[in-house]
Structure 1
Amino acid sequence: MAIFKKPIVRGAAVQISPVLESKSGTLGKVADAIVEAGKNNADIVVFPETLVPNYPYFSFIKPAVSIRKDHTKLYEESVVVPSEDTDFIGGLAKENNIVVVLGVNERDGGTLYNTQLVFDTTGELVLKRRKITPTYHERMIWGQGDGSGLKAVDTTIGRIGALACWEHYNPLARFALMNDHEEIHCSQFPGSMVGQIFADQMEVTMRHHALESGCFVINSTGYLYPKQVEKITGDTAMQKVLDKGCFTAIISPEGVILSDVLSEGEGIVYADMDMSLITKRKRMMDSVGHYSRPELLSLNIDKSQKNLVQETNASLKKEQDERYTNTREQSYFTE
């Protein structure tokens, strides 16, 4: 019996620019990229953080008091899960026989979330997870996720895990996926921010996770053209902040970059991932197996979905009330 579902998995990491403030426009570009990746025989394609409709760059460079218009527009163009939008992406995944990992701004009632969606080759949405803690300026935009999505999931090509951006600086979040034996880790970043130092830090972080988890990493970042930066802000000083910071690549469990690296512009990079390298790495160091010390160090994680309202089943409540009444009557009778 084979250990891995496919001995060789072809990965695709997309560096892409959104159509600012347009869900339909960005979804159109996503569709084109999925088809292109499929034509190049990719088994899995990964898109950047909250690509649909776009990452809220405005919140990083504008004061909170001035973002009402931008934030409201993001609400209007956000994605409901499930919806026709997710059916559309699921259909593309099925038609092109490819696993799709897509970042969206998800609207649930009156709150937006930074959400990662994983569609299997069957078109089924097998994972919806929300960023557990939005970073810095993002806290003005998104709500907090819970632990229900902090897991790796089985797909037709292997076991997939995903985190967004600086969640990778939460070692316990990463450990949760490592302990779930992820084989392919899908990481998503906004890109076109902060400068080259952001890309440098990203490379170090993702290569380290590949080594520590003993898995492949497909890292995808977004990209902004100069005209888009000008549309986001007319302040030339702030425009300089929305530059560089892109690192789109595929990394092996040995920390080796397998694909080309995209640091600017749009495009797709590919790599054939030999799944036997996972065993090669873990044979020497399995951080959640023979190299762990659970009697000394362990993680306590709550994976339950958090709800504001807890409903009591009416029939169960009636049964409990009757049981309580009968118990009291028996007590009185004894006395």
Structure 2
Amino acid sequence: MMKSICKVAVVQDSSVPFDAQATTDKTCQLIAQSASEGAELVVFPEAFLGTYPKGLSFDAPIGTRLPEGREDFMRYFEGAVEIDGKELQQIKESAAEHNVFVVLGVIERDGSTLYCSIAFIDPTLGLVSKRRKLMPTGAERLVWGFGDGSTLNVIKNELGNIGGVICWENYMPAIRSAMYAQGVEIYCAPTADDRDTWLSSMQHIAMEGRCYVLSACQYITRGEYGEDYRSILTDNPDDVVMRGASVIVGPLGEVIAGPVLNQKTILYAELDRATLIKSKLDFDPVGHYSRPDVFSLHVDVQEKKPVHY
């Protein structure tokens, strides 16, 4: 159950592409900055630690893969992090030092496969959960593996019930219902979608789930990726690759902070538990406004392993 009032932060900034250690150091600085403004929870964008490779094709036309694309993948793989690696350990220490709950988009390396994940870091307990993206979008499926239902949990915390849904997973009604049924109160949506239409989706989810929605997207320019980045989008270092549009929305669809475009910033808001309760007077998607006699959802939460011994 959410505490009466909590202050949250949504980071709109850039990774240091392909440099996990530099991004880790920057993440810790942003945690400290958020904490200095009183934030108790901070949300980072999708793939913040490990790089969102926007514009890379990995030279993979249908029917063939070119050697240059394999070199790009090697670089991307080396810039990812292990969930129990030194980078996450440093971030856990920063969260503990500043007493901040951290929701961080990471590219997770597990064996020889990469996953787009969220690390949930409690300042006292450390890494309390991770979410692997169930459905990578489009060409993301070439470089990211698929998550399973075992990471679809909502974290019960003194700040509130915290859940995470990544980018276009937010367009999947079933995954949203799975979050609502677990009583999500702080719905985190790390994303790489900076389009105008994203705001309406975040407002709809907030109203549908009667929850607070915190969406974080990077602001990053082409130049930050480096001269040797083989993007198909642009070679102009001043061009914006992701423009932000991060936002915080209340449970009746009201925009509390943002969206902010074309700058690096941190959005702040105070979340009031009473507002959550009041919002459910006339709508509760998994309570008095549901029809379980007509509709039901089955969620398989078992971890799926390819080999069983």
- 142 and 234 in structure 1: CA distance in 2 versus 1, 3 angstrom threshold: closer
Q: CA RMSD in A?
A: 2.0
Q: Which amino acid aligns with 2:169?
A: E
Give 1 or 2: higher helix fraction.
Answer: 1
Question: How far apart, in 2, do the equivalents of 1:251 and 1:236 lie?
Answer: 31
CA contact (8 A) 2:221 2:240 kept: no
Aligned sequence identity (%): 34
Question: Which of 199, 216, 220 does residue 220 from structure 1 map onto?
Answer: 216
Q: Which amino acid aligns with 2:43?
A: V
CA contact (8 A) 2:222 2:234 kept: no
Question: Which of 100, 103, 106 does residue 104 from structure 1 map onto?
Answer: 106
Task: Output aligned runs, 1:174-323, within 5 Å.
Answer: 174-191=176-193, 198-228=194-224, 231=227, 232-233=229-230, 243-311=241-309
Question: How far apart, in 2, do the equivalents of 1:55 and 1:7 lie?
Answer: 35
Structure 2: tracts of 5 or more residues without a match: 61-65
1:115 pairs with 2:117: yes
CA contact (8 A) 2:2 2:273 kept: no
Measured after TM superposition, the shift of residue 67 of structure 1 is: 2.4
Give 1 or 2: higher strand fraction.
Answer: 2
> Residues 233-287 of structure 1: CA distance to partner in whole angstroms, max 9, x if unpaired?
4766576996455211111001111113321121101011111111111121001
CA contact (8 A) 2:51 2:79 kept: no
Question: How far apart, in 2, do the equivalents of 1:139 and 1:156 lie?
Answer: 36
Measured after TM superposition, the shift of residue 92 of structure 1 is: 1.2
Question: How far apart, in 1, do the equivalents of 2:213 and 2:231 lie?
Answer: 36
Question: Which of 149, 152, 176 does residue 150 from structure 1 map onto?
Answer: 152
Farther-moved stretch of structure 1 (284-293 vs 302-311): 302-311
Structure 1: tracts of 5 or more residues without a match: 192-197, 312-335
In structure 1, the residue matched to 2:129 is 127
CA contact (8 A) 2:121 2:129 kept: yes
Question: How far apart, in 1, do the equivalents of 2:239 and 2:200 lie?
Answer: 21
* TM-score, normalisation: structure 1: 0.85
Question: How far apart, in 2, do the equivalents of 1:154 and 1:257 lie?
Answer: 25
Farther-moved stretch of structure 1 (241-250 vs 202-211): 241-250
CA contact (8 A) 1:199 1:244 kept: no
Larger Rg: 1
Which aligned runs of 4 or more in structure 1 are off by greater than 4 angstroms?
Answer: 234-242
Farther-moved stretch of structure 1 (211-220 vs 153-162): 153-162
In structure 1, the residue matched to 2:30 is 33
Q: Which amino acid aligns with 1:272?
A: E
Task: Output aligned runs, 1:74-113, within 5 Å.
Answer: 74-113=76-115
* Secondary structure at 1:160 match in 2: strand
* TM-score, normalisation: structure 2: 0.92
Question: How far apart, in 1, do the equivalents of 2:213 and 2:286 lie?
Answer: 17
Q: Which amino acid aligns with 1:209?
A: I
